[in-house]
Amino acid sequence: MRESRSNHSGRRSPDARTSAAPVAADPRMLALKTLQELRGGEVTLDELLAKHGYALSSRDRNFLRHLLGSTLRHLGEIDAILAPRYHPPQDRTANRLTNIMRLGVTQLFFMDVSDHGAVDSTVNLARDAGLHKYIKLVNAVLRGLQRDGYELPDGVEDWQLNVPAWLRGVWKKTYGADRAREIARASLGYAKLDISVRDAEERAEWAEKLGGTLLPTGTIRLESGQRIRDLPGYNDGKWWVQDAAAALPALLFSQYDGKTIYDLCAAPGGKTMQLAARGANTIAVDKSEGRLRRVYENLERVDLGAAIVTGDATDLADDAPIADAVLLDAPCSATGTIRRHPDILLRSSDALMKSLLPIQQKLLLQADRVLAVGGELIYCTCSMQPDEGEFQIKSFLADHPNYARKPITADELGGWDEAITTEGELRILPTHMADLGGMDGFYCARLVKQRG
């Protein structure tokens, strides 16, 4: 484990693709490459967008993100639309051709692209991808859909096609059929841009400067699609981007100033900055050097300090400092963040979720090992599955009778009580704050270590 310290304590024209542009800079070709690479589930959409989109203009980069986001949000629906007309070939081109068809249907029905542009650009994509013998098929299928439209199977709603069956089943069992439907629909929408301000007393001022809405919990909410670096205050380090739900756990400790607080699994650093801004001696731990580089850069920009430790938080060093508090944002299936990361619909699975449960348990044990008696442990995940939230804490408390819940109150959330459970935990749903744009799904519990 290595430690370093930061230096500072209408309609869209289809003409985005031009004949003069090289194939590598065509956003539709990059969308195809991205869909191909998402198949394995080892890499995220954001990582691939950073990899493929850097050479694009701002306009084409936005088009690429919108094309991929729309495809992933409607993937089940798209496949149902294609099913009566398209049967994949029995050769190695099948997956690539299917993804080309999917991108065409997305543009035809789920984006503001002209019908003519959607069809012609998809035919050109098939040609550029080397699938010359299937060009007539692509053209025929899309022209037929353009002419006839489509109907979903009888008795099936769009959200039932777009949310995987395993996930629908968990949500129905946990929240009931009606609430599960609402959660699914909200999850398939788009998230707004949320901002945390470094100095809490300046929140109202920055909400006015940025033209945003100040949420009861202290987050400033803006419309999405804005270029973040161009907004006032960014270069001056006055604020950072952080989802409103994810911003809550770091606000729930009793004391900060001069206290040693771990931020386990810290990247990309929003919670680290919150803790440091409140005066805590923060130790940010993450096993990814690349992701910790972002934490360091963010701390530099906002002129805050923290100890940055590269290492696996499931196996902290024997001489790791004992802390006054621990914030554990555990790795999880992230099914509460589909609005921001629609690739989760493609990458996540029940098997993946279950594989993360023992990791979460190990992290809780490590948190216990470095937490002083009388200290607070906040455990959170951005998962909608109780296996990764409520059940983990229930199991931990059963095995650790020296811990007790410290209920979270509405006063700590600016009076907002919609997400507080009878146990005094937070179970935030995508349907919460619906009139203000919704929330990411999130779970949070606060425990106190009463004795050793």
Q: Is 34 helix (H, G, I), strand (E, B) or coil?
A: helix
Which residues make Cβ contacts (< 8 Å) with residue 287, sequence separation at least 6?
310, 311, 312, 313
CB-count burial class (<10 Å; 0-12, 13-18, 19+) for 11: exposed
399 is in an annotated binding site: no
154 is in an annotated binding site: no
Compute the distance between CA of residue 190 and CA of residue 339 in angstroms, rounded to an integer: 5
Compute the distance between CA of residue 194 and CA of residue 201 in angstroms, rounded to an integer: 17
76 is in an annotated binding site: no
The neighbour count for residue 355, using CB atoms within 10 Å, is 11
329 is in an annotated binding site: yes
Please calculate the CA angle 21-26-27 and round it to the nearest 5 degrees.
145
Please calculate the CA angle 78-80-83 and round it to the nearest 5 degrees.
110
Please calculate the CA angle 430-434-435 and round it to the nearest 5 degrees.
165
Compute the distance between CA of residue 340 and CA of residue 336 in angstroms, rounded to an integer: 9
266 is in an annotated binding site: yes
**Radius of gyration from C-alpha coordinates of the chain:** 23
Which residues make Cβ contacts (< 8 Å) with residue 57, sequence separation at least 6?
none
Q: Which of 332, 380, 382, 444 is catalytic?
A: 382
For residue 70, give the DSSP letter. Answer: H
245 is in an annotated binding site: no
The dihedral formed by the CA atoms of 167, 432, 284 and 298, expressed in degrees to the nearest 10: 110
Q: Is 200 helix (H, G, I), strand (E, B) or coil?
A: helix
Distances from the Cα of 267 to the Cα of 234, 295, 314, 389, angstroms: 19, 6, 15, 20
Q: Is 145 helix (H, G, I), strand (E, B) or coil?
A: helix
271 is in an annotated binding site: yes
Please, where are the H alpha helices in 211-332? 270-277, 289-302
Q: Is 380 a catalytic residue?
A: no
The neighbour count for residue 99, using CB atoms within 10 Å, is 21
The neighbour count for residue 5, using CB atoms within 10 Å, is 13
Determine contact, residues 200/251, Cβ cutoff 8 Å: no
Q: Give catalytic residue positions.
A: 382
Q: Known binding site: residues?
A: 265-271, 286, 312, 329
Q: Known binding site for S-adenosyl-L-methionine: residues?
A: 265-271, 286, 312, 329
